[in-house]
Structure 1
Amino acid sequence: MSEELSQVLRVRREKLAALEERGIAPFAYGYDRSHRSDRALALFQEEETAGTLDEKGEGSRVRVAGRVLSWRGHGKSAFAHMEDGGGRLQLYFRKDALGEGSFSDLDLLDLGDWIGVEGVLFRTRTGEVTVKVGEWTLLAKSLRPLPLGKEEVDPETGERVVHSGFQDQQSRYRQRYADLAVNPEVRELFRARTRIITELRRFLDERDFLEVETPVLQPLYGGAAARPFTTHHNALDTRLYLRIADELYLKRLVVGGFERVYEIGKDFRNEGIDRSHNPEFTMLEFYQAFADYEDMMELVEALLRRVVTSVTGETRIVYQGQELEFGTPFRRLPFVPALNDKLGADVATLDDAELRRRAEALGEEGLKGAGRGRLLDKLFGALVEPELEQPTFVVDYPVELSPLAKHKRGEAGLTERFELYVAGRELANAFSELNDPLDQRRRFELQTQLRESGDDETHPVDEDYLRAMEYGMPPTGGVGIGVDRLVMVLTDAPSIRDVILFPTLRPGEGTSA
């Protein structure tokens, strides 16, 4: 801690003690607020338009509450700005209105304190709607200064520019509470995230999908190629896993007779951290009986078009300088021909050793024990994915990459699977779900062989899931959509950490502020 910060903290503690000596409670139990700031502003404007202000130009009396973000003292008066969930509102304090004692108590306030005020609304000579404070109440004393920085507003564009303040990105991730407090645009991003998730739900609810909850702690993980987090249940003396996907439990529900189900929830994968990966992330998965991957492509396209237009107001958006169009039919690109084109060879003629050599030449990592499926995935990720800027369905994946998908009708070695790519990243993954329990067992057993060869991102044999399939699973289409990545695209966020309130950080990251 710097000497300057230590001094500031000491002064604030001294003010806390002074408040208590004057009998002012520094941490209130509640406050009876009559209006949020935006509604108070709207109320005054309505009264002004209706001509119902009094002869002094004053409107209704309001009780508002928020955090003090600016302060300008002028001897026997002072102006301040407070901020609440509705925005900012100016406050005007006068000694003759408050009285000697209450006005002098204002000296013990600091930026960041929470206060409640009561007074009438009026418009200043500069045109700003303001509360003329008749009384004020301290709601919470701030003992640590917020990194507010210096703020300026461009007189022509109205754009808010903050100089210095909370600029270290890692500190902002670690201290998200402070980041939210001083950056309204960050709060707006997370409001947009909520609107996106609400629209996803609304779209599926309108189509008779049932929202369900499946276990996060599971006796066996599955549904994706990933390493799990493990834990131990003391009472049962057994190992449990944090789920890596919702898939196998949702398909059990289809077996049970729920024809359309979905879940929005947290998944966990014990993998690296980068701009598009966080170990804890949010997934939407939905399954529809009597549908195949063609049906699910149509549904995903309609879903994304709906969400994009609902949140942004149009089908065309800009992500990191790239214009993306969601209003036209999404391109369809077969996996194998696309990879063949980039390799300059037919992957069917290349053995695993040659695939590995080519992946290593591209600088790919994590190849230890990798089977053919993972090698193909690595090559596709390096050579093809970065060029998939516009919404693109990559279709018909090799069977080695898709142990839970049905074989493609009429084409040996391929499966009815698609992944949706936008801005060079995977947003969705979907199958015509494999519903043959005998074929599923064979594929699980092949995954076991790969694991024994050193590939630790394979599916274990899930006997309970196989038993469920043996009761009979109807033809089913299933989709998984990465909610965090979708939010990234729709809010123009460069990193997944920007759209997760409290992302996973490496030890020591962002601890300096």
Structure 2
Amino acid sequence: MFDNILEQQRIDKSNEFKKAGINPYPHFLKKEMSLSDFKTKFSYIFESEAKRDENSFGIVAGRLKLLRIAGKSIFANIEDESANLQIYFSKDSIGEEQFNLLKKNLEVGDIVLTTGFPFVTKTGEFSLHANEVKLATKSIVPLPEKYHGLTDIEQRYRKRYVDLIMNSEVRKDFLIRSKVVSLIRRFFEDKGFLEVETPMMHPIAGGANAKPFITFHNSLGVERFLRIAPELYLKRLIVGGFEAVFEINRCFRNEGMDLTHNPEFTTIEFYWAYHNYKDLMDLTEELFALLLDKLNLEKIIEFDGNKIDFSKPFERISYKEALKKYGELSDEIIENKEKILTKLKLDGFEANEKLDLGHLQAELFDNYVESKLINPTFITDFPISISPLSRRSDENPNIAERFELFICGRELANGFNELNDPLDQYERFLKQIEAKNAGDEEACEMDEDFVNALGYGMPPTAGQGIGIDRLVMLLTNKKSIRDVILFPAMRPLKSELKEGKE
């Protein structure tokens, strides 16, 4: 490791610092302010006659992004997470011995701590005139070439640390992500919700329709499933007496990877006693309005070449009406299994003939409707068979009191009136077992403890989940989920694969 010529040269330069009695990896260094704060604090020098203030000093730190040696002086650009800044130092300002050591051994990528006063160069660039420059960290691996940066998309994801060093816009996207999570947390706390944490390893793969990751608990001697969703535990808390809870955390689904799916992803799930799914839709619109406002985004934003209008109330349309309006499908097809199968096959889509009507209607929705839902749209009143945890409609027992929010053809949220009838829930789980036996690998499993919890009585409750990753994609106009996850899942390189397992 670190054995190519350029890396070895940098190691040699690191040793030069050691010979001079300087630790290339010192500690206990304190910077006084960020580069952004330095620029703000001393911005007045642009208005001063001298264009410099030798009586005001700041201590800043940053990574060298540019180094230009001009005889007895050096101009450099340093960068921290807030900004970049030009620094200047010379033999006269820091002393000949230190200058010569830095001139010979300092390189782009190194991190330095510098003390100096603000001034404006003859070309009009705000800068720091250093009277002290200390090496804070010696970089052994060279950075990518400045003008091309880290352009290979696979390398950007695999080496996110380099991506963050080279691309300030990437850092900005993840700052936005962090702010989004913080705003969501504050929003729900202000509404009186309690933040909780529930298990990541479940004895039963449940809470949503998906394939789980399976691990083994050595101490207990049993299999455990990385959680698909926290739903069933959060609803146990509602049974226990909490009336408004939320959790922001990871979920895991052992499924394919594409532009909108990563096997490890972040959601918020929240449950609200004595409220219904219409209240949740209102709450969701309120949340989006707050995010757009706090992030200083317009009411009409661009995403993936589409203009998305948040200035109007979100459309609310039933599942069946959406199949007719957006899918241009007739009642004759929608309500007939054989005609759905014929339609799908004629248009080149695969469908399992063993699926019930609700699951086949879901195939219609996925193939003919979803991609057409550009502006924020709540799809309501789902088929009951694809909603195993939702409450049945009192008016139509084949319909679940459920909605999903779609924006630009992508599902961002799923919510419903929670099923709190333990006998009905037990029967639904039995139906899920039948579906699994019929070939649905994502069907839920029986959770008798949850049914038992419902037996103690859960008040009327509405619950919802929102995908944080897809939400951030939308707000930052990123087409791939990998662009908003710091360390996305990646296929292993051949060099990482164990021998014989390519």
Q: Output the TM-score relative to the length of structure 2.
A: 0.93
Q: Please point out which of 14, 21, 28 is paired with 2:12.
A: 14
Q: Please point out which of 75, 81, 102 is paired with 1:79.
A: 75
| Map of 1:309 onto structure 2 | 293
- Does 252-261 or 31-40 show the bigger shift? 31-40
Deviations 1:347-397 (A, max 9, x none): 55422x554454455454685975544433232111100000000001111
Q: Please point out which of 222, 238, 256 is paired with 1:254.
A: 238
Please give the root-mean-square deviation of Cα atoms over the aligned residues, in Å: 2.2
Compared with structure 1, are the counterparts of its residues 452 and 201 closer, same or farther at alpha carbon in structure 2 (3 Å cutoff)? same
Q: Give the Cα–Cα distance (whole angstroms) in 2 for the partners of residues 58 and 373 of structure 1.
A: 76
**Shift, 1:61, TM fit:** 1.1
Compared with structure 1, are the counterparts of its residues 125 and 408 closer, same or farther at alpha carbon in structure 2 (3 Å cutoff)? same
Deviations 1:257-302 (A, max 9, x none): 1100001000000000000000000011111001111111111111
- 2:378 is matched by which residue type in structure 1? F
Q: Give the Cα–Cα distance (whole angstroms) in 1 for the partners of residues 161 and 348 of structure 2.
A: 39
Please state if 1:406 is matched with 2:391.
yes
Aligned partners of 1:44 and 1:59 also within 8 Å: no
Q: Please point out which of 91, 97, 101 is paired with 2:97.
A: 101
Aligned partners of 1:59 and 1:122 also within 8 Å: no
Compared with structure 1, are the counterparts of its residues 20 and 364 closer, same or farther at alpha carbon in structure 2 (3 Å cutoff)? farther
The 5 A counterparts of 1:276-295 are 276-295=260-279
Compared with structure 1, are the counterparts of its residues 338 and 231 closer, same or farther at alpha carbon in structure 2 (3 Å cutoff)? same
| Map of 2:500 onto structure 1 | none
| Map of 1:444 onto structure 2 | 429
Identity %: 42
**Shift, 1:406, TM fit:** 1.1
Aligned partners of 1:388 and 1:422 also within 8 Å: yes
**Shift, 1:182, TM fit:** 0.5
| Map of 1:154 onto structure 2 | none
Q: Which runs of 5+ in 1 are unaligned?
A: 151-163
Aligned partners of 2:391 and 2:401 also within 8 Å: yes
| Map of 2:225 onto structure 1 | 241
Q: Please point out which of 81, 87, 112 is paired with 1:115.
A: 112
Aligned partners of 1:408 and 1:414 also within 8 Å: yes
- SS of equivalent residue, structure 1 residue 254: helix
Please state if 1:70 is matched with 2:56.
no
- 1:382 is matched by which residue type in structure 2? N
- 2:328 is matched by which residue type in structure 1? K
Q: Give the Cα–Cα distance (whole angstroms) in 1 for the partners of residues 77 and 350 of structure 2.
A: 52
- SS of equivalent residue, structure 1 residue 466: helix
**Shift, 1:22, TM fit:** 2.0
Q: Give the Cα–Cα distance (whole angstroms) in 1 for the partners of residues 367 and 266 of structure 2.
A: 25
Please state if 1:209 is matched with 2:193.
yes
Deviations 1:185-236 (A, max 9, x none): 0000000011111111111111101111011111112111100001000011
Compared with structure 1, are the counterparts of its residues 89 and 478 closer, same or farther at alpha carbon in structure 2 (3 Å cutoff)? same
**Shift, 1:56, TM fit:** 5.8
| Map of 2:485 onto structure 1 | 500
Aligned partners of 1:369 and 1:456 also within 8 Å: no
| Map of 1:271 onto structure 2 | 255
Q: Give the Cα–Cα distance (whole angstroms) in 2 for the partners of residues 56 and 447 of structure 1.
A: 74
Q: Give the Cα–Cα distance (whole angstroms) in 2 for the partners of residues 214 and 98 of structure 1.
A: 56
Deviations 1:36-60 (A, max 9, x none): 11111112114665x6x98964351
Please state if 1:141 is matched with 2:125.
no
Q: Give the Cα–Cα distance (whole angstroms) in 2 for the partners of residues 55 and 336 of structure 1.
A: 70
Compared with structure 1, are the counterparts of its residues 269 and 55 closer, same or farther at alpha carbon in structure 2 (3 Å cutoff)? closer
| Map of 1:346 onto structure 2 | 332
| Map of 1:30 onto structure 2 | 28
Compared with structure 1, are the counterparts of its residues 368 and 502 closer, same or farther at alpha carbon in structure 2 (3 Å cutoff)? farther
Aligned partners of 2:275 and 2:462 also within 8 Å: yes
| Map of 1:475 onto structure 2 | 460
Aligned partners of 2:45 and 2:118 also within 8 Å: no
The 5 A counterparts of 1:328-347 are 328-340=312-324, 341-347=327-333
- SS of equivalent residue, structure 2 residue 78: strand
- What number of residue pairs does the alignment pair up? 493
Aligned partners of 2:334 and 2:361 also within 8 Å: no
